Amino acid sequence: MTDPESRPRWSVEQRLAYLERRLYWDGQINRGDLTDYFSISVPQASADISAYESLAPGNLYYDKSARAYLISPKFSPRSEPNARQYLSQLQLIADGVLAVEESWLGRVPRYGIVPRVRRKLAAPILRQVVEAIHTKSALRIEYQSVSSDEASKRWVVPHALGFDGNRWHVRGWCHRREKFLDFVLARVIDVIDRREEEFDTSADLAWHRKAFVRLGPNTALSQATQRAVALDFGMEAGVVEIEVRLSLIYYFSRQMLFDVAHSLPAERVQVILLNKDELNAQLAEVDEAPII
């Protein structure tokens, strides 16, 4: 076991992780990359590179013509490289959430991302919702549902945030409906009032319980397409299991087009649900709508 006293401090470890990511994805790094990103001195950057060389000998070497430290052919990363982490940086940049200079990417490749229609999100409302979650408070909100012509006012006790792939929701107890519901954050028009309220959110079984959704290639597809789909989803023996909160299975099934699969060509629904009956039984236990 590594002696805690011998491990680098957290701030140093962050710089070493950055250094290794730049080596792995860009193939090179120099002191200026470290000084610019972390606002540290040149001597400190040199010390960090020396520290990395001690921890991972043979991973880099200095090239005078490039004036940079290059990745060695014998490079062996200290931590497992994460492709999703790399691509998420590109997504954040495309979304305007992260500036290129704030990312840890060095040489940004040409890329394109299909734009998504963004939902309206009001920071003041989100702040009050987050505060209510932390302080265990109830909020009286003005909310526009899709089932009513007029906005309604109701007391809710938020206890979590959820994302369905397109929209952010507030999960909480609704005093008006007397049940736990999801409220689309963009449809909260206003927070009218707030009060302290102790509420046993452990009673929200649909939120706290999880289930494994078992997926396989659509058997209506050609064998070649099924093999490609299995590769896309990282399936083993034609199956992949995804853990999902019961309260989010409805959104998951819509995202995967299971609710309209019967009316679409097989090419549009490349994955099928293998344990629908099992999931519906679990959903019934927590009073959630079944998967169609």
- Tens of pLDDT, residues 186-211: 999 999 999 999 889 999 999 999 99
| Amino acid 292: pLDDT | 81
Confidence band (pLDDT; 50, 70, 90) for 117? Answer: confident
Asked if residue 3 has pLDDT above 70, the reply is: no
Mean pLDDT over the full length of the chain: 93
Asked if residue 6 has pLDDT above 60, the reply is: no
| Amino acid 64: pLDDT | 94
| Amino acid 8: pLDDT | 58
Asked if residue 236 has pLDDT above 50, the reply is: yes
Give the 3-state secondary structure of the chain. CCCHHHCCCHHHHHHHHHHHHHHHHHCEECHHHHHHHHCCCHHHHHHHHHHHHHHCCCCEEEECCCCEEEECCCCCCCCCCCHHHHHHHHHHHHCCCCCHHHCCCCCCCCCCCCCCCCCCCCHHHHHHHHHHHHHCEEEEEEECCCCCCCCEEEEEEEEEEEECCCCEEEEEEECCCCEEEEEEHHHEEEEEEEEECCCCHHHCHHHHCEEEEEEEECCCCCHHHHHHHHHHCCCECCEEEEEEEHHHHHHHHHHCCHHHHHHCCHHHCCEEECCHHHHHHHHHHCCCCCCC
Asked if residues 52 and 20 have their Cβ atoms less than 8 Å apart, the reply is: yes
Q: Which of 40-44, 111-115, 185-189, 224-228 has the lowest mean pLDDT?
A: 111-115
Q: What is the rounded average pLDDT of the residues 226-248?
A: 97
| Amino acid 7: pLDDT | 54
| Amino acid 115: pLDDT | 85
This prediction has a pTM of 0.84
| Amino acid 198: pLDDT | 86
Q: What is the rounded average pLDDT of the residues 163-167?
A: 92
Q: What is the rounded average pLDDT of the residues 217-223?
A: 96
For 127-163, the pLDDT digits (tens) are 999 999 999 999 999 999 998 899 999 999 999 999 9
Asked if residues 276 and 256 have their Cβ atoms less than 8 Å apart, the reply is: no
Asked if residue 222 has pLDDT above 90, the reply is: yes
For 14-50, the pLDDT digits (tens) are 999 999 999 999 999 999 999 999 999 999 999 999 9
Q: What is the rounded average pLDDT of the residues 175-183?
A: 96
